[in-house]
Amino acid sequence: MNDTVPDLWIINLENISLSKVYSVLSLHLFSKEELVRAARFINEKDSILHLSGRLFVKALAATKISVCDINKTTGADIFDLIKALHIEIQPSGKPKFRKSALVKLEDFEFNISHHWPWVTIAFDIVYPIGVDVIVLEKTQKHEISSLVDELEFQLHRDETILIKSCLNNDDVAKATEILCKIWSAKEAISKLNGLGINMIYNNFIANTCIQNNHTIEVFDSKMNHKYLVYSIMLSNNQYIAIASKRLDLKTVTQKSGLPLFNISYKSFSDLIDILPSSSV
């Protein structure tokens, strides 16, 4: 496998037929634990996003495994691989493939984030990785101001000042952009390290002004460590952030002008295409 560049899959489910989704989700591709976890969501769309994310990451892993197979891999082979892959949650809260005698999975690193209509999957053969997608549904000036007040104890003082300065100048679009970048970057770092709610967000300071190849510098003031987070704008109020143990200043400098990730935009139809036609 080529482990030099991690993968990022971005899936939009906005215009998907729910009946088509359910036809795929009913193919016995999930463990009992995965289905129980999905059933905890109150909102049906959240449950669909959750299961879709896991199905896509299994499909991505199956295609990676099949590339190494010297024999020709058929759709049925991919289908069997997907069925054999099960995701479990580690004590840290990070998802991980369950060890299997069928395939070697212990080195695979991945992370999933979703917010309707987006599912994002970051995948690396070797290095830990974290991803977050943010969609701010309320983007009026007073709504952004209220959200900043609500999050102020988790934002660094400099970040709060910067966002409020934009709002005071009636630059709501810029305030929205900065808030999205800051929050998604910190979430990606939290997921990278498996910290969850244990991460003290205001110890991290995001510099959204200095960017190189879409990267944002985030400084951990407590550990005196600098992260580089890759940021992608889907729209002014929708952003993706990816944090990787592979990504550092040296990497960015060496790859100047080159992609740091294999970015693919997918649809649910792409998933259906790799499954045997008789299964769907």
Asked if residue 76 is part of any domain, the answer here is yes
Mean pLDDT within 123-132: 92
* Cα distances (angstroms) measured from residue 89 to each of 33, 111, 115, 164: 10, 11, 20, 38
Asked if residue 14 is part of any domain, the answer here is yes
**Whether 58 and 139 share a structural domain:** no
**Whether 68 and 142 share a structural domain:** no
Domain encompassing residue 26: 7-128+265-274
Which pair of tokens denotes residue 80? 């069997």
pLDDT digits (tens, 9 = 90+) for 192-243: 999 987 899 999 999 987 656 688 999 999 999 999 999 999 988 999 999 9
**Whether 97 and 195 share a structural domain:** no
Asked if residue 259 is part of any domain, the answer here is no
Rounded CA-CA distance 197/187 in Å is 10
pLDDT for residue 16: 76
Mean pLDDT within 96-120: 83
**Whether 104 and 162 share a structural domain:** no
**Whether 117 and 138 share a structural domain:** no
The total number of structural domains in the chain stands at 2
Asked if residue 2 is part of any domain, the answer here is no
Asked if residue 253 is part of any domain, the answer here is no
pLDDT for residue 277: 53
**Whether 70 and 113 share a structural domain:** yes
Dihedral angle sign, alpha carbons of residues 97, 99, 101, 106? positive
Asked if residue 229 is part of any domain, the answer here is yes
**Whether 40 and 94 share a structural domain:** yes
**Whether 24 and 120 share a structural domain:** yes
Number of other CB atoms surrounding residue 98 within 10 Å: 12
Asked if residue 217 is part of any domain, the answer here is yes
**Whether 92 and 139 share a structural domain:** no
Q: Is the pTM of this model over 0.75?
A: yes
**Percent of the chain at pLDDT above 70?**
84
pLDDT for residue 258: 65
**Whether 56 and 160 share a structural domain:** no
Asked if residue 255 is part of any domain, the answer here is no
What CATH number should be reported for the domain holding residue 152?
3.90.470.20
